[in-house]
Structure 1
Amino acid sequence: MIMSASGFPSLALGCFLLALVVAPHVVHGLSRSLTQGGGAVAPSASAAGLCASEITIHGYQCQEFDAVTKDGYILSVQRIPEGRAGGGSTNKQPVFVQHGVLADGSAWLVNLPEQSLPLILADNGFDVWIANSRGTQFSRRHTSLSPSNPKFWDWSWDELAAFDLPAVFDLIHEKTGKKVHYVGHSLGTTIALASLSEGKLVDKLQSVALLSPVAYLTHITTALGIIAARSFLGELVADFLEALCARPGLDCYDFLTAFSGPNCCLNVSTVDLFLKNYPQSTSMKNLVHLSQTVRDGGLAKYNYEIADFNMEHYGDARPPVYNLSNIPHNVSMFLSYGGQDALADPKDVQLLLDSLKLHDVGKLTVQFVKDYAHMDFLMGLNAKDIVYSQVLSFFKNQH
């Protein structure tokens, strides 16, 4: 579900949401959130939570936690403290796993356990923590606001970088006393880069792995992505999707390819399972912010498009830029990107790498997977051998 600033879902937002995250199909069956007392909302999936619906059924231990952000959002976080075989050392290194936009933590769990990154990490001796960003089905809660209140949806990915990530890092550090490995996909990489560029997370961070990193969107190549991004900067109309898909040469029946590039290695049954629970809800402001990233070609804070509004929020007529060269040069980073990715286009990833060119020797590891597109990093049947094995080696080599 895509929620506008007025609290209502908007079909028009569906197209671009799918473009920049992980929901490659037509948004359907949208309805206003059903709220219950205290501002909480009944989840659309199992009321027992993600642990019961996706993790313990495979024989893993799983614990549910809440992380409360400084602006009052209550985020659902799942912990897998050990592998399916159990036992092992209690002195395990924590790993924080962050999804992209229109997804939640279950996006990492649609494949079999031996193909799903969080469970692979747990089976290899890591203490795994799975996040669910504000507005998604298990994190549609706030200390004072109901999802039916427009103020609940007044945020973009700026707030995910400034508040959501630090809240989860604080929770993990509080429970474990250890520095944290981080792995993100798509928007999960964007918010990590933005947060690190402002000096956040560093004191609790062990290393960071970015899969299909999105920092620049100058070279989006799909017609659907380009048109959808431009449309979000203009008038949003209810028949946007129908009008968009009526354009000559656009095939809206295969959003996965149309938006993210020709994924090489997805299983049809896995994709079907994925689509049963997607898209997850996000805010209109978040989508507009993403479209601004396409238009402006760089990573900057939300642009209110009126100089006086920007001045009120930032003290300047233009929104501040996230200077990625400010990321501490000694932060251990692993980047994996694909040659067929239409969102994290190789040319744009090169722009990101240019901004990291002063990184300390030995602190930046880069993997290029020629045949991979955007979704292969999340659901590829061979991602375990091609990408996840490299993530494991990278984490195990950090001391």
Structure 2
Amino acid sequence: MVRVPSEGPAIFLMHGLLGCADDWVVAGTESGMAYLLANEGYDVWMGNARGNKHSRTHETKDPSTYDFWDFSWDEIGRYDLPAMIDYVLDTKNHTHLIYVGHSQGSTAFFVMASELSAYNDKISLMIALSAPTAIPNMKSPFLNFLKIVTLFHPEHLFSLAREMGIYEFLPSTDLVKHFTPIVCGTEELAEIICGNIMFLFCGFDAAQLNMTQLPVIFSHQPSGASIKQVEHYSQAVLSGKFRRFDHGETKNVEKYGSKMPPEYPVENITTPIVLFYSDNDWLVSYDDTEALRKRLQNVVEMYQVPYPHFNHVDYLFAKDVKTLVFNKLSSVINDYL
């Protein structure tokens, strides 16, 4: 974890897929979410998902082996978030904190809060900056390509990757670190190549992207993830359900006692939740956010970002993130302190 310490209330920030704690600060002191919260007196803690560039060490498992990468966001929500949250609360000697999740950071929360009921009392408010759970309506061309490729045999593409010894998706390796400055190291190249690649994943919004920051952003991104995290999301796209990892019928029976993996019981979540969504988010549509809202029992507000081109990564890097997102986020937090 990374901390911007103060004596104020604790706020825990959790990044999305392929991200890391850096996501909350690379936009700079004027618009980085961690800085904005710290300036308001909060004790800001930033988690790192297992397997990203800050979380690649283990007592017994080596990152070159499949055993190290045999996890999805289920394990992140089931084991890692509780460990980090408990550490924050123990350090602060507090009983609860505010949780802000971006993308997979929201997904992992819904795993934790639905499966581990005790953590509902440890989170006084959860703010989801885009909340991918069941996402059959996502518009990303890349993920829709995976959807087409894997439509009839969804296990084949990922099985092939494992057979080829590919366990990590877009790792922050020395090769990538040397390659990224070549194609994204100047403002012009970053805009032409890397910015457009990011738009293909997340939605086009050139107006909100600070082009001078692109080389900085791509010096920190991508931060790596398990192939299995991507596979789990692909299952959520294909099935239209937010459920545990599908291992196939035989292993599902062994692990879950049923041929199909069980859905996460999000109806059991009692933590107050605010869902942020945007019209141009190609990964999490309004329809999918609304479907989640209907299942949740304690959504206190569903906030539409008031800008039609706002995309999935604008929550982190938009020029006007303070007026479009942060001011609302800060106001909601104040209501629950």
TM-score by length of 2: 0.83
Deviation at 1:167, TM superposition (A): 0.7
For the pair 1:268 / 2:185, whether they are aligned, the reply is: no
Rounded to whole Å, the distance in 1 between the matches of 2:77 and 2:148 is 24
The one of 91, 98, 114 aligned to 1:197: 114
The one of 332, 348, 351 aligned to 2:288: 348
Deviation sequence 1:327-354 (CA, Å, 0-9, x none) = 12xx222211101111111111111111
Correspondence list, 1:1-399, <5 A: 77-82=1-6, 90=7, 92-178=8-94, 179-198=96-115, 199-231=117-149, 233=154, 234-235=156-157, 236=160, 254-263=196-205, 264-305=207-248, 307-328=249-270, 331-356=271-296, 358-359=297-298, 364-369=300-305, 370-371=307-308, 372-399=310-337
Rounded to whole Å, the distance in 2 between the matches of 1:388 and 1:376 is 12
Q: Residue 102 of structure 1 contacts residue 279 of structure 1 at CA under 8 Å; is this kept in 2?
A: yes
Q: For this pair of structures, how many residues does the alignment match?
A: 297
Deviation sequence 1:163-192 (CA, Å, 0-9, x none) = 111011010011012211000101111111
Deviation sequence 1:119-147 (CA, Å, 0-9, x none) = 11111010000111111111111232222
Deviation at 1:252, TM superposition (A): 8.7
Rounded to whole Å, the distance in 2 between the matches of 1:270 and 1:354 is 38
Q: Residue 74 of structure 2 contacts residue 244 of structure 2 at CA under 8 Å; is this kept in 1?
A: yes
3-state DSSP of counterpart to 1:373:
coil
Rounded to whole Å, the distance in 2 between the matches of 1:219 and 1:200 is 32
* Residue aligning to 1:21: none
Rounded to whole Å, the distance in 2 between the matches of 1:364 and 1:280 is 33
3-state DSSP of counterpart to 1:115:
coil
Deviation sequence 1:306-342 (CA, Å, 0-9, x none) = x1111111121111101222212xx222211101111
3-state DSSP of counterpart to 2:209:
coil
Q: Residue 252 of structure 1 contacts residue 258 of structure 1 at CA under 8 Å; is this kept in 2?
A: no
Rounded to whole Å, the distance in 2 between the matches of 1:157 and 1:200 is 19
Deviation sequence 1:46-92 (CA, Å, 0-9, x none) = xxxxxxxxxxxxxxxxxxxxxxxxxxxxxxx111113xxxxxxx3x1
Q: Residue 230 of structure 1 contacts residue 295 of structure 1 at CA under 8 Å; is this kept in 2?
A: no
3-state DSSP of counterpart to 1:114:
coil
Q: Residue 207 of structure 1 contacts residue 332 of structure 1 at CA under 8 Å; is this kept in 2?
A: yes
Rounded to whole Å, the distance in 1 between the matches of 2:325 and 2:69 is 35
Q: Residue 273 of structure 2 contacts residue 301 of structure 2 at CA under 8 Å; is this kept in 1?
A: yes
3-state DSSP of counterpart to 1:175:
helix
Q: Residue 189 of structure 1 contacts residue 210 of structure 1 at CA under 8 Å; is this kept in 2?
A: yes
Deviation at 1:224, TM superposition (A): 2.6
* Residue aligning to 1:48: none
3-state DSSP of counterpart to 1:344:
coil
TM-score by length of 1: 0.71
Rounded to whole Å, the distance in 1 between the matches of 2:140 and 2:17 is 18
- AA aligned to 2:228 is K
Deviation at 1:106, TM superposition (A): 0.3
Percent of matched pairs sharing the same residue: 28
Q: Residue 260 of structure 1 contacts residue 343 of structure 1 at CA under 8 Å; is this kept in 2?
A: yes
Q: Residue 250 of structure 2 contacts residue 259 of structure 2 at CA under 8 Å; is this kept in 1?
A: yes
Post-superposition, which runs of at least 4 consecutive aligned residues in structure 1 deviate over 6 A? none
Distance 1:200 1:147, change over 3 A: farther
Deviation at 1:398, TM superposition (A): 0.7
- AA aligned to 1:353 is R
Rounded to whole Å, the distance in 2 between the matches of 1:268 and 1:212 is 23
- AA aligned to 1:308 is T
Deviation at 1:380, TM superposition (A): 0.7
Deviation at 1:229, TM superposition (A): 3.6
3-state DSSP of counterpart to 2:76:
helix
Unaligned runs of 5+ in 2: 165-191
Q: Residue 293 of structure 1 contacts residue 299 of structure 1 at CA under 8 Å; is this kept in 2?
A: yes
Rounded to whole Å, the distance in 1 between the matches of 2:193 and 2:235 is 23
3-state DSSP of counterpart to 2:220:
coil
Deviation at 1:223, TM superposition (A): 3.0
Unaligned runs of 5+ in 1: 1-76, 83-89, 239-250
Deviation sequence 1:13-57 (CA, Å, 0-9, x none) = xxxxxxxxxxxxxxxxxxxxxxxxxxxxxxxxxxxxxxxxxxxxx
3-state DSSP of counterpart to 2:121:
helix
